[in-house]
Structure 1
Amino acid sequence: MTEKKIHLTTKDYLITKEEFSLEIDNNYDMLITKPQPKNLDKYYQTINYISHTDQAKTFIDKIYQTVKKYTLTKKIKLLNEYSKKGKSILDIGCGTGEFLALTKNQNWTSFGIEPNENARRKAKLKNIDVTANFEELNQQKFNVITLWHVLEHLPDLPNQIKKITNLLETKGTLIIAVPNFKSYDAKYYKEHWAAYDTPRHLWHFSQQSIINLFKEKNFKVIKTIPMKFDSYYVSLLSEKYKNGKQNYLKAIYRGWLSNYKAKRTTEYSSLIYVLKKE
């Protein structure tokens, strides 16, 4: 039996402080969280898990919510650029539904999947059609499917990718945003890099891994877009994990440096991938 190589060992800094290994998968050029807990729900049971709340109490919360509002308009522009003939959208892992509320206001037929009951309830208060799982969609097809920092959370990745691609119209567009473990900030912060976020993040992607995973379903990456704000936000959290306190100036510098280096390497902290079926 081939011995599995470990990239590094990190831990759940948010809730349990349990340790997890990041195992190297050379076939896909990605990392896999090991072990992968059978009961993942308990790792989301905190008011501090920001994508399941609309709160803006702390300084970091306020930064997150401010940047989120700015990026929402960018996301809508991206949708309109790559889906000119149809306007039905499925947002997988839609959280509290802000993005889908905006698409609905832009005359999109909007649906969401959100397994977290609390986040799903908040989305429904925004009059969003949201379900807990794929099965409730009854094989409905969509012009656009989006996963904004969600693919890394999905257990049984090959099966999930199959379900996602099967729900897309023949000429539809798949838009995926995920962290990039080959970015400068990931290499600098190592086990303290907040975007590892184990065990909520089960998979850790490179640019090549997204190409490899979706090539099996005959999908091609037609555009890659940097998410430049992510390096700053992730660095703020990473400084806290590394040093036990907020180092705002250091975090801002590391975030800036990550983006600066990525101008040459293209290895930004997070990336958006636009995919079409070949």
Structure 2
Amino acid sequence: MLKWVDKLFHVETINNRRTDIQLKDNQKIYSSTQADVIYSKELGLAKTLFKENKAAKKNALAEYLPHSETKFTLISIAYSFVRSLMFIYKYKMIKKYIYKKSKVLDFGSGTGDFLRYFKRKGHKVYGVEPNKLAREISKKKGIISLPDIKKLKETKFQAITMWHVLEHLPEPSKTVKSFHKILDKEGILIIAVPNLESFDSLHYKNLWAALDIPKHLWHFTSNGLIKIVETQGFKLAKIFPLWFDTLYISYLSEKNRSNQFPLLFGLFKGLYFNFKSFRTRNYSSLAFVFKKTTL
């Protein structure tokens, strides 16, 4: 029924969910003068391997501000509006697992907007954010965040969230393990990451914007992420799609292609990828809810 769309926009299609049949072991899914990205079938993830390029490594570890705090353009305004809608969605995602006045920790809290929304809902909020300028902006909004998780005085949280942060960290397993210690007995951990098995990833290949080299050190499949987190004393409870991410990533990917109309093509393809994902659940980004278990 939608073959004409595939042909018009040169969209690749697959009949079943993208699995390791498409992603081969030791497959090089990205290569540049800065780094290679190599996929491991056993681990269900890909890793960014830097070449002898000090500038690339420095860029990967550099602190940066969220998109909405930079320039006031049409895209940034739209991004901020959508992000506000996503706060509502994220709250509905989490509220069934926590109670009133729960302690919520956002790891990689940025400029504090997510925590400010939760604070208005009556929860006690805490943030960890390495970027000094972001912490200062957050403080002006009434949200205090700390530069390091070790500086937290609170030891038991009902919820810990990570929104597109884990892929930036050198040691994701070690970070997840540290969360297990400070979560309440019935606490939850929510991790949102780009989905390496998504339709837009398959379509754009090495130009897929969510690869974000050199800032993203890891690139997860669903099974790969679940394996890492469950090994550290958690059990998957539910997976939520992040629909708007598909639109934004498709737009950025079209820019990577030097498309003259990246917004038009990106939005159209993003909507199409979301439509196809209703069956496979392979959206561009996914949010995973994990419950704490005993190690």
TM-score of the aligned structures, taking structure 2 as reference length? 0.83
Q: Secondary structure at the match of 1:243?
A: coil
Matched, 1:274 2:289: yes
Q: Is the 8 A contact 1:52 1:96 kept in 2?
A: no
Q: Is the 8 A contact 1:56 1:62 kept in 2?
A: no
- Report Cα offsets for 1:73-119 as digits up to 9, x if no partner: 11122221111266000000011000111111111110000111111
1:129 to partner: Cα distance: 1.9
1:141 to partner: Cα distance: 1.6
1:27 to partner: Cα distance: 2.5
Matched, 1:69 2:84: yes
From the superposition, tell whether residues 202 and 245 of structure 1 become closer, same or farther in structure 2 (CA, over 3 Å): farther
Correspondence list, 1:223-234, <5 A = 223-234=238-249
Matched, 1:248 2:263: yes
Q: In structure 1, give the amino acid aligned to 2:47.
A: I
Q: Who is 1:164 aligned against?
A: 179
CA RMSD of aligned residues (A): 2.3
Q: Who is 2:104 aligned against?
A: 89
Farther off after superposition, 53-62 or 219-228: 53-62
Aligned partners of 1:126 and 1:44: how far apart in 2?
26
Q: Who is 2:6 aligned against?
A: none
Structure 2 segments unaligned to the other structure (5+ residues): 1-24
Q: In structure 2, give the amino acid aligned to 1:6.
A: Q
Q: Who is 2:200 aligned against?
A: 185
- Report Cα offsets for 1:131-174 as digits up to 9, x if no partner: 01111014622100000111111111221111122221111011
Q: Who is 1:14 aligned against?
A: none
Q: Who is 2:147 aligned against?
A: 132
Q: Is the 8 A contact 1:10 1:192 kept in 2?
A: no
Larger radius of gyration: 2
Q: Is the 8 A contact 2:68 2:79 kept in 1?
A: no
Q: Who is 2:26 aligned against?
A: 5
Aligned partners of 1:101 and 1:201: how far apart in 2?
26
Farther off after superposition, 131-140 or 217-226: 131-140
From the superposition, tell whether residues 224 and 203 of structure 1 become closer, same or farther in structure 2 (CA, over 3 Å): same
Aligned partners of 1:169 and 1:277: how far apart in 2?
8
Aligned partners of 2:147 and 2:186: how far apart in 1?
26
Q: Is the 8 A contact 1:114 1:120 kept in 2?
A: yes
Q: Is the 8 A contact 2:104 2:159 kept in 1?
A: yes
Farther off after superposition, 33-42 or 260-269: 33-42
Q: Is the 8 A contact 2:26 2:41 kept in 1?
A: no
Runs of 4+ in structure 1 over 6 Å off: 36-39
Q: In structure 1, give the amino acid aligned to 2:34.
A: E
Q: Is the 8 A contact 2:68 2:76 kept in 1?
A: no
TM-score of the aligned structures, taking structure 1 as reference length? 0.88
From the superposition, tell whether residues 151 and 165 of structure 1 become closer, same or farther in structure 2 (CA, over 3 Å): same
Q: Is the 8 A contact 2:101 2:124 kept in 1?
A: no
Aligned partners of 2:65 and 2:212: how far apart in 1?
13
1:179 to partner: Cα distance: 0.6
Q: In structure 2, give the amino acid aligned to 1:205.
A: F
Aligned partners of 2:142 and 2:246: how far apart in 1?
32
1:244 to partner: Cα distance: 5.7
Farther off after superposition, 237-246 or 110-119: 237-246
Aligned partners of 2:190 and 2:142: how far apart in 1?
23
Farther off after superposition, 236-245 or 186-195: 236-245
**Identity over aligned residues, as a percent?**
35
- Report Cα offsets for 1:9-47 as digits up to 9, x if no partner: 245xxxxxx53211112232011111288885645769x
Q: In structure 1, give the amino acid aligned to 2:113.
A: E
Q: Secondary structure at the match of 1:276?
A: strand
Q: Is the 8 A contact 2:173 2:229 kept in 1?
A: no
Q: Secondary structure at the match of 1:263?
A: helix
Aligned partners of 1:222 and 1:167: how far apart in 2?
19
